[in-house]
Structure 1
Amino acid sequence: MKNETLIITRTFDAPQEQVFNAFSNVEALNAWWGPVQMKNTVISLDFKVGGIFHYKMEGHGQVNYARFLYTEINPFSKLVFRLAFVDEEINIIPPPFPIKFPMEILYDFKFEETNGKTTMTMTGVPVNGTAEEIEGFIGLNESMQQGFGASLDHLETYLKGDVITHP
């Protein structure tokens, strides 16, 4: 079977605390999180274990919602959450694309600082997916690498204090 884990590593020219904090507040998340070709808006953020980050993505005539359910938060070093597409009331719904895909993905972000630079390693694995859904996840690996890469480009811009333009 092909690898069903998505792994992305990126090094930022910023301290670990600054990079981690970009995941923990509304202003930062509104500035950089989400698909870059869409307008992303934080609806609510309860940054604690068991808390939820609910956001809206608008673009190309579509409106989608997603949420993180935080399962582990170790300030400045680790962040773990379950990501799912949801409706406006935060009920989990099927992903809005034409292939079978898991209803939830578990993401684990690790942050490590060396000489003032932070390396962030993200892993993503399907949660309770069927064989067909896991194959869909594996099939979208390259696309997810590109999508997360573009979002992380926005994070890098945000960390430098530069203005980010959205559609």
Structure 2
Amino acid sequence: IFFRMMQFNTKAVWLVVTMAVGMASGHGTVVYPPPRNGVDRDLPPWNGPVPQPPLDVESATGWCPVPGPDGKVSGRNGQSCFWFSNGCALGCDRCDGTSRGPIPMSGDPHYHRKFNLCNTTTKVATICDPKLRTVNTGAECGADDDWYYYSPWRA
């Protein structure tokens, strides 16, 4: 009887796990070992607990909070969750630090679905195979709806 109960419990656990995988949605961050790009984790204000309310560090979302050893939210990851660089695109000599990448589903005319940030024709996407892309895979390479065509990861 014990083994039958154990077998049933194992099957039930696997059923719950498989169902939960389909429902999982979110973002994560590496907490341990400390991320290499968390170079500011030893500097204030990120080397301590996240203040309540959080300080405005360039924006209200200037924190990458993680659980602290004292049960409170800590800033000890520094700004490692902000791994991206604004204003980087194929053909640009450097990132401008302010331009936002494509925002495909926005109807706002201030946001572009696809744009050549540096107005160059010398650098184009080389990763065009949909099997090698993780987003916008149904778009033909370079087409109007290939919103991420000028994104750095398409080099």
TM-score interval for Structure 1 and Structure 2 normalised by the shorter chain: under 0.3
More strand by share: 1
- Report which of the two structures shows the higher radius of gyration computed on alpha carbons: 2
TM-score, normalised by the number of residues in structure 2: 0.20
More helix by share: 1
TM-score, normalised by the number of residues in structure 1: 0.19
